[in-house]
């Protein structure tokens, strides 16, 4: 298939992109030259003169015809002849092989006529054929360029220059020279030139092109900003956190690009179909030729049928059917905060029957706030419990830890230092603080170690509790709770309308899980699961014949994400390379999961429509070209064949560009 140009990363390396537009220009130029030459060729052809009822023959007119047609053949047909040679070299006869073969046959035969073979030449057919092929390729390349345009738009989000803040002045520098810890100034209305942290100023930033979040987000000192986001009305200074090539946007562009290059089952199906179509074209072309020639038709007639069959059969539309949809869908998804790393995972989204929401963080906001602190020992104040707990949690990224540290900060308590810190997998943490051995653990730990749960211990369903143990004495507990995301219920409802079950899989206690599950109307929940058990639970669902999508946060759910049929990493906006997931959702918004599935379905529909059109058209057009209805007076000329082929390709391209994210 000669669609290598589709897989060349558009815009990433400007060379690749310029190469593409140069090819478009090249086809355009050849088209115009051939167009000008086709007019005298038509006028000099005996058949056209016959048609017009004139006789403009003069001595040597066929030599002029031969000369003009040779220019058309070698200059206009050059891209196809070159393509033919390349395909023969690679032993992959395809598109170019067929066109090249068809025009060569037509040319050689016509030249033979000029130099004495009996019959009618086909120069005008040859010229119109090449003309239409050039036009078709030119239009098709423009539509391919259109499908990759979304990626270009992502590339253009990166401003070329940044205002770098120097001790004495602000200096404009090229964005790609920025390094970690440089400070840049972003004026109102400008695009942020690099990922970083705001060091002064505050503003509202529009990140919609990167995350799909339409509302501008307020950012203050200490907040992260993403390169490519558009600054609102405040002026901000940003400390750059890494060089441009590592920025979130560059990662997205690279991801989109890789995804467009990666092949899925549908793509491989289309490639196989195109390969077969090429073989069928050659066989039917030769068979058609032999049939007509041996049943007494003229050599010219048999040749013409063969050329038409081969041209009509060009698996153009087939070759484009999938790549165009791929280019469009990958880039569109990236704009909407869905990053597709693996095409197959994305195309499989339409088969999902069960979605496992890994932690409450997707369905809930994922920010735990301390809702109560209870001391169980007279000589220990509640603030002391927070102070000691915060000491152990300062190393952790866990939402509960963040909640406790936030509380300490609100009470302006500074966490003391810890020694011999140790994490107890899935159960909590332990360390020595100021000479005391302290544990911050889950209720499960108390159960396992037969520590009685204290009297008067009450928490409501949606609270998560950690206990503080000082020198083996239960000292108190902290309850935290997490609020449910407003979009969750609606997302779950939509999934149910599409017959997709939602299951909550969480390390949280049963009560929290039950409460979240009931509030949202989930199909079921599995609680108190340790990380390594998640994998087992997913396998169990798969063994029941479910097609499982797992949403997790990419880093600690790697094994489970890898084993799920579709792994969706959520909320790892900055850590885009969420290792094992096939799809990354920038916003951890459950609504995005719904859009992902619906968009996956829409994309697949488009591919199938395109493949059906491309093959169906051949089923109808091929017999007509071969002359099945010759007796009924229906016969397609090579030029008509070329027109049909071009139209079918354009239908496929237009259909691909109609793809939308709901």
CA distance 18 to 53: 49
Nearest Cα residue to 87 out of 325, 314, 327: 314
Tens-place pLDDT, residues 86-116 = 988 988 777 788 888 888 888 988 888 888 7
Q: What is the CATH number of the domain that holds 490?
A: 3.40.50.1000
Query: What pLDDT does residue 360 have?
Result: 60
| Within a domain: 634 | yes
Measured CA angle at 115 (ends 109, 116), to 5 deg:
90
| Within a domain: 290 | yes
Report residue 267's pLDDT band, with 50, 70 and 90 as the boundaries.
confident
**pLDDT surpasses 50 at 577:** no
Mapping DSSP to helix (H, G, I), strand (E, B) and coil, where does residue 123 land?
helix
DSSP code, position 569: E
Helix, strand, coil tally for the chain in percent (to 5)? 55, 15, 30
Query: What pLDDT does residue 641 have?
Result: 82
| Within a domain: 592 | no
* Residues 446/416, Cβ–Cβ less than 8 Å: no
Same domain, 353 and 500: yes
Q: What is the CATH number of the domain that holds 396?
A: 3.40.1110.10
More confident residue, 581 or 34: 34
* Residues 527/630, Cβ–Cβ less than 8 Å: no
Domain boundary among 211, 246, 281: 246
Query: What pLDDT does residue 355 have?
Result: 93
Tens-place pLDDT, residues 33-62 = 999 999 888 888 776 666 676 676 766 778
| Within a domain: 251 | no
More confident residue, 447 or 283: 283
Least confident residue range of 110-119, 121-130, 339-348, 357-366 = 357-366
Query: What pLDDT does residue 523 have?
Result: 92
Tens-place pLDDT, residues 190-222 = 888 888 889 888 888 887 766 666 678 888 888
CA-to-CA dists, residue 195 to 174, 185, 229, 541, angstroms: 15, 12, 9, 40
Same domain, 631 and 558: no
Report residue 229's pLDDT band, with 50, 70 and 90 as the boundaries.
confident
Same domain, 180 and 51: no
User: What's the rounded mean pLDDT across residues 351-364?
Assistant: 82
Query: What pLDDT does residue 502 have?
Result: 92
Query: What pLDDT does residue 14 have?
Result: 43
Three-class SS of 186-226: ECCCCECCCCEEEEECCEEEECHHHHCCCCCEEECCCCEEC
Dihedral angle sign, alpha carbons of residues 635, 638, 641, 647: negative
Nearest Cα residue to 255 out of 576, 496, 574, 573: 576
More confident residue, 295 or 453: 295
Query: What pLDDT does residue 2 have?
Result: 40
**pLDDT surpasses 80 at 545:** yes
CA distance 462 to 511: 7
Report residue 431's pLDDT band, with 50, 70 and 90 as the boundaries.
confident
Phi-psi region at 424: left, alpha or beta (left = phi > 0; alpha = psi -120 to 50): beta
**pLDDT surpasses 80 at 605:** yes
Name 215's Cβ contacts closer than 8 Å, sequence gap at least 6.
none
Same domain, 576 and 428: no
Same domain, 178 and 284: no
**pLDDT surpasses 60 at 284:** yes
Same domain, 434 and 314: no
| Within a domain: 662 | no
Count of structural domains, the chain: 4
| Average pLDDT across the chain, whole number | 82
**pLDDT surpasses 50 at 368:** yes
**pLDDT surpasses 60 at 572:** no
CA distance 541 to 49: 74
Same domain, 573 and 551: yes
CA-to-CA dists, residue 231 to 146, 180, 586, angstroms: 28, 21, 19
| Within a domain: 595 | no
Domain boundary among 246, 274, 293: 246
Query: What pLDDT does residue 3 have?
Result: 43
Q: Could you tell me what percent of the chain has a pLDDT over 90?
A: 12
**pLDDT surpasses 80 at 364:** no
Which pTM does this prediction carry? 0.69
User: What's the rounded mean pLDDT across residues 374-392?
Assistant: 85
Same domain, 641 and 512: no
Sequence-distant contacts of 403-406: CB under 8 A, at least 24 apart: 403/367, 403/368, 403/369, 403/370, 403/480, 404/370, 404/466, 404/478, 404/480, 406/369, 406/370
Nearest Cα residue to 480 out of 502, 508, 454: 508
Q: Where are the alpha helices (DSSP H) in 394-487?
A: 399-410, 443-448
Report residue 151's pLDDT band, with 50, 70 and 90 as the boundaries.
low
| Within a domain: 594 | no
More confident residue, 535 or 291: 291
Tens-place pLDDT, residues 458-514 = 666 667 788 888 888 888 888 887 778 888 888 999 999 999 999 998 877 787 788
Report residue 9's pLDDT band, with 50, 70 and 90 as the boundaries.
very low
Q: Which residues are catalytic?
A: 358
Determine the number of helices (DSSP H) and then strands (DSSP E) in the chain.
24, 22
| Within a domain: 280 | yes
DSSP per-residue letters across 588-655: --HHHHHHHHHHHHHHHHHHHHHHHHHHHHHHHHHHHHHTTTGGGT----HHHHHHHHHHHHHHHHHH
Query: What pLDDT does residue 354 have?
Result: 94
Same domain, 553 and 624: no
Domain boundary among 226, 246, 266: 246
**pLDDT surpasses 50 at 362:** yes
Q: What is the CATH number of the domain that holds 220?
A: 2.70.150.10
Structural domain boundaries enclosing 377: 369-481
Same domain, 525 and 402: no
Provide φ and ψ at 393, rounded to 5°: -90, -5
Same domain, 125 and 136: yes
Query: What pLDDT does residue 573 have?
Result: 45
Query: What pLDDT does residue 37 have?
Result: 93
Same domain, 63 and 121: yes
């Amino acid at each position: 298939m000669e669609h290598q140009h589709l897989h060349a990363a558009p815009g990433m390396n400007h060379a690749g992109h310029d190469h593409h537009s140069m090819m478009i220009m090249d086809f355009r130029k050849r088209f115009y030259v051939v167009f000008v030459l086709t007019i005298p060729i038509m006028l000099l052809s005996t058949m056209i003169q016959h048609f017009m009822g004139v006789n403009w023959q003069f001595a040597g007119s066929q030599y002029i015809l031969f000369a003009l047609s040779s220019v058309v053949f070698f200059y206009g047909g050059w891209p196809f002849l070159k393509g033919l040679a390349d395909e023969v070299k690679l032993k992959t006869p395809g598109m170019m092989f067929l066109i090249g073969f068809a025009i060569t046959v037509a040319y050689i035969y016509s030249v033979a006529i000029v130099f004495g073979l009996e019959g009618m030449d086909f120069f005008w057919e040859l010229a119109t054929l090449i003309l239409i092929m050039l036009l078709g390729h030119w239009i098709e390349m423009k539509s391919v360029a259109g499908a990759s345009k979304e990626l270009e738009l992502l590339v253009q989000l990166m401003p070329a220059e940044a205002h770098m803040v120097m001790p004495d002045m602000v200096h404009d520098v090229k964005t790609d020279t920025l390094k970690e810890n440089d400070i840049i100034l972003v004026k109102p209305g400008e695009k942020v030139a690099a990922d970083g942290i705001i060091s002064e100023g505050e503003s509202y930033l529009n990140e919609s092109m990167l995350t799909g979040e339409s509302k501008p987000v307020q950012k203050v000192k200490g907040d992260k900003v993403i390169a490519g986001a558009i600054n609102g009305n405040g002026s901000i200074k940003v400390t750059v956190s890494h060089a441009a090539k590592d920025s979130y946007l560059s990662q997205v562009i690279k991801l989109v690009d890789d995804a467009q290059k990666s092949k899925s089952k549908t793509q491989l199906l289309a490639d196989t179909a195109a390969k077969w179509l090429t073989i069928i074209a050659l066989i039917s072309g030769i068979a058609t030729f032999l049939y007509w020639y041996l049943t007494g038709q003229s050599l010219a007639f048999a040749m013409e049928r063969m050329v038409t069959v081969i041209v009509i059969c060009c698996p153009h539309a087939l070759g484009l059917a999938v790549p165009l949809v791929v280019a469009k869908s990958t880039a569109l998804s990236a704009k909407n905060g869905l990053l597709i790393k693996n095409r197959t995972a994305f195309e499989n989204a339409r088969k999902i029957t069960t979605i496992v929401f890994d932690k409450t963080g997707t369905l809930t906001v994922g920010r735990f706030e301390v809702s109560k602190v209870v001391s169980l020992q007279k000589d220990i104040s509640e603030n002391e419990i927070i102070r000691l707990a915060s000491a152990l949690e300062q190393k952790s990224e866990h939402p509960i830890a963040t909640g406790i540290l936030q509380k300490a900060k609100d009470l302006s308590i500074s966490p003391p230092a810890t020694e011999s810190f140790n994490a107890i997998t899935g159960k909590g943490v332990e360390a020595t603080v100021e000479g005391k051995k302290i544990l911050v653990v889950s209720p499960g730990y108390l159960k396992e170690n037969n520590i009685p749960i204290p009297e008067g211990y009450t928490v409501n369903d949606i609270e998560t509790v950690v206990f503080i143990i000082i020198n083996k004495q239960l000292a108190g507990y902290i309850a935290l709770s997490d609020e449910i995301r407003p979009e969750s219920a609606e997302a779950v409802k939509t999934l149910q309308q599409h017959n997709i079950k939602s299951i909550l899989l969480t390390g949280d206690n049963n009560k929290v899980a039950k409460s979240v599950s009931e509030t949202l109307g989930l199909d079921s929940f599995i609680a108190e699961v340790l990380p390594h058990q998640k994998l087992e639970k997913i396998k169990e669902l798969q063994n029941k014949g479910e097609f499982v999508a797992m949403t997790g946060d990419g880093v600690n759910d790697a094994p489970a994400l890898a084993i799920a049929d579709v792994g969706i990493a959520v909320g790892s906006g900055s850590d885009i390379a969420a290792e094992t997931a096939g799809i990354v959702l920038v916003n951890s918004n459950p609504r995005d999961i719904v859009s992902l599935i619906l968009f996956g379905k829409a994309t697949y529909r488009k591919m199938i429509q395109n493949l059906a059109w491309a093959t169906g058209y051949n089923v109808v057009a091929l017999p007509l070209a071969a002359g099945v209805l010759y007796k009924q007076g229906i016969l397609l000329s090579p030029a008509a064949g070329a027109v049909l082929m071009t139209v079918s390709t354009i239908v496929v391209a237009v259909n691909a560009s109609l793809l939308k994210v709901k």
